[in-house]
Chain A
């Protein structure tokens, strides 16, 4: 490989399209997002992609990099382009808007469908809830709470690809943090939303979500927790 330039293939178009090849100068500590930004600013201003914070907080810049979904702002080229080439595609399992930008609507609609939102029970007259950091449920919630909604797990999940209505790892992981939130008042509706068709029972524990989550969260373990919770509810006739 040449050390000063990198051959980069970037997806152009929508579902139908083709790869376009660019030569990009190599720099120290260069990230995949740096590469895409270089192409857009210097080689082809028409390239569409999405990013905001550049430091792994906002979750907007995920793309498929050499076959695997990655957060591009925190993925160093050294780590993924060992053979000197880089192939950058939009995330899988979501409709492509253009080039590297995908439509995340369905991804977030599934969060809504999974009732993956907090349902408050206290009023403004109540004092703050005291939740001990040592509480086992609090620990379960803490383990999954740092999700940045980047869509990497959703894009890596074959069950999402095979079953169109499957809620997917991110929404289910979020639901599990709320199942463990003792202040939450939406438990019955949530368990009903995540059981049945497209729900947590569809998961086969492939663990691609766990393998690739940039925040090192474990949606597979969260979904296993939901499976146990829905079984308990089903046996009691609560769902």
Chain B
């Protein structure tokens, strides 16, 4: 793959994941507003999300989309404000992607397991 094609496709992934995230965030904000009525408890969270396959699917998509989206933005910031080379920013981007996937799925899968 040419570097031009790779860069263009990376840009497309950032935009496509943004579109997915917009939908996720609308759902997320709605849930936040509804959930905070009367306060949030560990029990409330477990009762809603635990064992629920639709919520597992939703939060999995959410985490994957964030993991694809956020590192690209961070890379732009590093490219524009630091003197880090392209290789360095590429590896930082990959590391942040793995970090978000790891921490995100630990939480998502853990919460799903509460209902089992």
Contact = CB atoms under 8 A, between A and B. Distances in A.
A and B touch in the complex (CB under 8 A): yes
A213 B95 CA distance: 41
B3 A197 contact: yes
A227 B4 CA distance: 12
B79 to A, nearest CB: 7
A187 interface: no
A128 interface: no
Given A234-B12, A239-B2, A195 B7 contact: yes
Contact of A162 (B4, B8, B81): B81
Contact of B4 (A163, A199, A204): A199
Contacts of B81: 162
Contacts of B87: none
Contacts, number: 47
Contacts of B6: 196
B12 A163 contact: no
B86 A239 contact: no
Given A227-B11, A234-B12, A195 B5 contact: yes
B7 A197 contact: yes
A162 B86 contact: no
Contacts of A230: 4, 8
A231 interface: yes
A235 B79 CA distance: 25
Interface in A169-220: 192, 195-197, 199, 201, 204
A163 B80 contact: yes
B9 interface: yes
A197 B8 CA distance: 9
A201 B7 contact: yes
A63 to B, nearest CB: 26
Nearest to A201: B11
A71 to B, nearest CB: 28
Contacts of B7: 195-197, 199, 201
A239 B79 contact: no
Of the candidates A162, A195, A231, the one having the most CB atoms from chain B within 10 angstroms of its own CB is A195
Interface string A217-239: 00000000001001101110101
Interface string B1-45: 011111111011000000000000000000000000000000000
Contacts of A162: 79-81
Contacts of B4: 192, 195-196, 199, 230, 234, 239
Contacts of A197: 3, 7, 86
Contacts of B86: 197
Contacts of A204: 76
Interface string B43-82: 0000000000000000000000000000000001001110
Interface of A: 159, 162-163, 192, 195-197, 199, 201, 204, 227, 230-231, 233-235, 237, 239
29 contacts: A162-B79, A162-B80, A163-B79, A163-B80, A192-B2, A192-B4, A195-B5, A195-B7, A195-B8, A196-B2, A196-B3, A196-B4, A196-B7, A196-B8, A197-B3, A197-B7, A199-B4, A201-B7, A201-B11, A204-B76, A230-B4, A231-B11, A231-B12, A234-B4, A234-B8, A234-B9, A234-B12, A235-B9, A239-B4
